[in-house]
Amino acid sequence: MRDELVIPVDDLVGHTGRDREFQGERPVDLRLGESTIKGPMTVEGRVVGTIDGVNARFTASAEAHLVCNRCLTDWTETIEATGTQHYRIEPDQDGYAIVDGSVDVGEPAKDELALAIPAAPLCEEGCLGLCPTCGTDLNRDPCGGHGDESDSPFAALRDLFDS
């Protein structure tokens, strides 16, 4: 079975401006903290010939399972990322190479998706989070308070910060 994101480019290398569109899917499994992308990643774009290789411009998208950094609510949304990658005939330590006349756009697309996952996702901009004492989701229910906190060993420190 042919990998849709491995694009033949022999006819583009050395022909500046000659191009080819592509699209395909590949399974992906990424994790950043509690957020994950698991399932098909869709990539579409264009490869353009250059003197020493090809440039690939692409847009990648996938469904991400995110967890709010404040209230721990989880939800699913589509994450989208765009990127450009230069592939050279002669590989260098910083880039991707043309291998057997083809380029793999799936790896840089996956890298861009990983960068598009929010480091601290929020369910909404004004998320109130959880009560640090009882754990109530303050977005759903107001916390009734927790009485006199003067018994706390940190009560004396509160006075320092209030002044």
Other Cβ atoms less than 10 A from the Cβ of 73: the count is: 16
Mean pLDDT, residues 14-39 taken together: 92
* Tens digits of residue pLDDT in 81-130: 999 999 998 877 777 888 899 999 999 999 999 999 999 999 999 999 99
Same domain flag for 119 and 133: no
The pLDDT, as a whole number, for residue 162 is: 62
Q: Which domain holds residue 134?
A: 128-163
Same domain flag for 19 and 85: yes
The pLDDT, as a whole number, for residue 115 is: 94
Same domain flag for 68 and 99: yes
Mean pLDDT, residues 43-66 taken together: 95
Residue 113 main-chain phi, psi, to 5 deg:
-65, -40
In a domain, 22, yes or no: yes
Same domain flag for 121 and 132: no
**Does the pLDDT at position 63 exceed 90?**
yes
Same domain flag for 133 and 145: yes
150 band by pLDDT with thresholds 50, 70 and 90: low
Same domain flag for 41 and 115: yes
* Number of domains present in the structure of the chain: 2
Same domain flag for 141 and 72: no
Average of per-residue pLDDT values in the chain: 88
